[in-house]
């Protein structure tokens, strides 16, 4: 049986919910920007947890995509850190002590996953959004109705039954889901995480292009409202609606990504209660995440 895999991206949340940023230049004062207020600085310092799940109708599910996001308004930069689902961590309150990090969501939902991240990496999560397979498909088509351009090789086409040819293809929701689910090559989950992050950046670009016109601006409230219907998030519609227009003027120029565990900081192990895991150097990876989100 294929392992459950999913990719999450809440672009609306990242752009609208993380972008408390300086106002655009005005009145011909080149190089002059409004400084962030204390409230804006506080909001811009928040970290968002994006969780991808595949419920398939079950009562419980594991989180198969775990992504931390933070926006840096002064640098107009967005940072995304993907935590590999097989990362072997200590799960608070779990009788076995250690397990794969994706088991935390199964045992205790978003709250336990937040607590697990904080206790293992010393990263405090401020807001959470959860999406499943069907929500992801709809979100992709909402944010990028013209499709997403990706390079597809024969292994992906054969394994995932993607209707595409070898090379660059423009794919839509269902096919993009297959593209980011693929993991049956030499790169395994590592390649899958790279494809997740690749599609994130493409969705960001497509969405910004869409809302940059007058028609796009006019449609922004309905896009946000529709996007939120595909998600389970602790950020209210009113809050995002209020922040949404700021995204048009303060979209991130740069997207930086990180994968945890970082290169050279882990080894493959097998444990009876968990199966195959990535046993990592917790100190090294905690430091990597701390440094990544500190500047």
Write the CATH number for 77: 3.40.630.190
Tell me the residue range of the domain where 227 lies. 11-294
Query: pLDDT tier at 270 (50, 70, 90 boundaries)?
Result: very high
Q: Considering the domain boundaries, does residue 118 fall inside one? A: yes
Q: What is the pLDDT of residue 284?
A: 97
Give me the residue label for tokens 């969705």: 203
In a domain, 277, yes or no: yes
pLDDT at 227 over 70: yes
Lowest model confidence (mean pLDDT) among 28-32, 244-248, 285-289: 28-32
Q: What is the pLDDT of residues 122-177, one digit of tens each?
A: 999 988 888 888 888 888 898 889 999 999 999 999 999 999 999 999 999 999 98
User: Has residue 105 been placed in a domain?
Assistant: yes
Of all residues in the chain, what percent carry a pLDDT higher than 70?
77
Q: Bin 161: left if φ > 0, else alpha if -120 < ψ < 50, else beta.
A: left
Using 50, 70 and 90 to split pLDDT, how confident is the model at 23?
very low
Cβ proximity of 84 and 187 under 8 Å: no
Q: Is the peptide bond before 150 cis (omega within 30 degrees of 0)?
A: no
Q: What is the pLDDT of residue 155?
A: 93
HEC-encoded secondary structure of the chain: CCCCCCCCCCHHHHHHHCCCCCCCCCCCCCCCCCCCCHHHHHHHCCCEEEEEECCCCCCCCCEEEEEEEEEECCCCEEEEEEECCCEEEECCCCCCCEEECHHHHHHHHHHHHHHHHHHHHCCCCCEEEEECHHHHHHHHHHHCCCCEEEEECHHHHHHHCCCCCCEEEEECHHHHHHHHHCCCCCCHHHHHHHHHHHHHHHHHHHHHHHHCCHHHHHHHHHHHHHHHCCCEECCCHHHHHHHHHHHHHCCCCEEEEEEECCCCCEEEEEECCCEEEEEECHHHHHHHHHHHHHC
Tokens representing residue 195 in the block:
């494809």
> Is 182 within the bounds of a domain?
yes
Tell whether the torsion through CA atoms of 231, 19, 70 and 123 is positive or negative: negative
pLDDT value, residue 191? 85
For residue 280, pLDDT over 90 is answered with yes
Overall domain count for the chain: 1
pLDDT attached to residue 243: 55
pLDDT at position 217, please?
Answer: 76
Q: Would residue 72 count as lying in a domain?
A: yes
pLDDT on residue 10: 41
Q: Beta partners for 268?
A: 278
The reported pLDDT for the residue numbered 124 is 93
pLDDT for the residue numbered 60: 67
- The answer to the question of residue 3 being in a domain is no
Tokens of 283: 């100190």
pLDDT, greater one: 195 or 224: 195
Say if 282 falls within a structural domain. yes
pLDDT tier at 264 (50, 70, 90 boundaries)? very high
**Average pLDDT, stretch 58-66?**
72
pLDDT digits (tens, 9 = 90+) for 183-211: 888 787 788 888 888 887 788 778 777 77
- Nearest 10 degrees: CA dihedral of 122, 289, 9, 11? 100
Q: Is residue 247 scored above 80 in pLDDT?
A: no
Lowest mean pLDDT among 38-52, 58-72, 83-97, 253-267: 38-52
Query: Half-sphere exposure of 265 toward its Cβ, with a 13 Å CA cutoff?
Result: 18
Q: Flag whether pLDDT at 248 surpasses 70.
A: no
pLDDT in tens, 98-111: 999 999 998 999 99
Residue 1 lies in a domain: no
């Amino acid at each position: 049986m294929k392992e459950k895999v999913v990719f999450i991206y809440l672009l609306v949340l990242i752009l609208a919910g993380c972008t408390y940023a300086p106002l655009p230049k005005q009145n011909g004062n080149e190089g002059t920007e409004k400084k962030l207020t204390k409230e804006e600085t506080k909001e811009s310092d928040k970290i968002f947890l994006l969780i991808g799940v595949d419920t398939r109708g079950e009562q419980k599910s594991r989180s198969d995509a775990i992504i931390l996001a933070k926006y840096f308004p002064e640098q107009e930069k967005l940072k995304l850190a993907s935590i590999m689902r097989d990362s072997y961590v200590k799960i608070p309150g779990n009788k076995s002590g250690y397990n794969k990090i994706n088991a935390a969501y199964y045992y205790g939902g978003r709250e336990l996953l937040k607590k697990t991240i904080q206790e293992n990496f010393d990263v405090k999560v401020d807001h959470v959004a959860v999406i499943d397979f069907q929500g992801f498909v709809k979100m992709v088509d909402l944010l990028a109705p013209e499709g997403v351009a990706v390079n597809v090789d024969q292994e992906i086409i054969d394994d995932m039954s993607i209707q595409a040819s070898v090379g660059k293809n423009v794919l839509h929701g269902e096919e993009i889901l297959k593209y980011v689910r693929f993991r049956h090559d030499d790169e395994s989950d590592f390649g899958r995480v790279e494809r997740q992050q690749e599609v994130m950046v493409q969705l960001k670009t497509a969405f910004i292009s869409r809302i940059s016109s007058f028609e796009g601006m006019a449609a922004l409230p309905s896009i946000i409202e529709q996007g939120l219907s595909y998600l389970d998030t602790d950020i209210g519609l009113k809050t995002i609606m209020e922040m949404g227009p700021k995204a048009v003027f303060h979209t991130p120029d740069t997207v930086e990504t990180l994968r945890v565990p970082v290169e050279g900081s882990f080894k493959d192990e097998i444990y009876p209660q968990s199966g195959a895991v990535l046993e990592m150097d917790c100190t090294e990876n905690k430091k990597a995440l701390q440094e990544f989100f500190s500047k």
